[in-house]
Amino acid sequence: MNEQLHHVIKSIDERQEELLNLLKTLIRFETPSPPARNTKEAQDFIAGYLKELDFSIDQWDVYPNDPNVVGVLKGSSSEQYKSLIINGHIDVAEVDNHSNWEKSPFDPFIRDGRMYGRGTADMKGGLAGALFAVKLLKEAGLTLPGDLTFQSVIGEEVGEAGTLQCCERGYTADYAVVVDTSELHIQGQGGVITGWITIKSPQTYHDATRRKMIHAGGGLHGASAIEKMTKMIQGLQELERHWAVTKSYPGFPAGMNTINPAVIEGGRHAAFIADECRLWVTVHFYPNENHDEVAKEVEDHLLQLAKADPWLREHPPTFKWGGTSMIEERGEIFPSLDIDPDHSGTKALAAAHENVLSESPKIGMSPTVTDGGWLGDAGIPTVIYGPGDLENAHAVNESVSIKELIQFTKVLTSFIYNWCHTEK
Residues known to be catalytic: 91, 156
Q: Which residues of 252-290 are buried (b: 16+ CB within 10 A; e: fewer)?
A: beeebbbbebeeeebeeeeeebbbbbbbbbebbbbbebb
d(Cα 198, Cα 266) in Å, to the nearest integer?
9
Residue 382, C-beta contacts closer than 8 angstroms, at least 6 positions apart: 175, 176, 177, 178, 337, 339, 372, 375, 376
d(Cα 24, Cα 34) in Å, to the nearest integer?
21
d(Cα 366, Cα 75) in Å, to the nearest integer?
32
Q: What 8-state DSSP symbol labels residue 332?
A: -
d(Cα 77, Cα 48) in Å, to the nearest integer?
25
Question: Which residues partner with 194 through β-bridges?
Answer: 282
Euclidean distance between the first and the last CA atom of the chain, given in angstroms as a whole number: 20
d(Cα 392, Cα 23) in Å, to the nearest integer?
16
d(Cα 194, Cα 284) in Å, to the nearest integer?
9
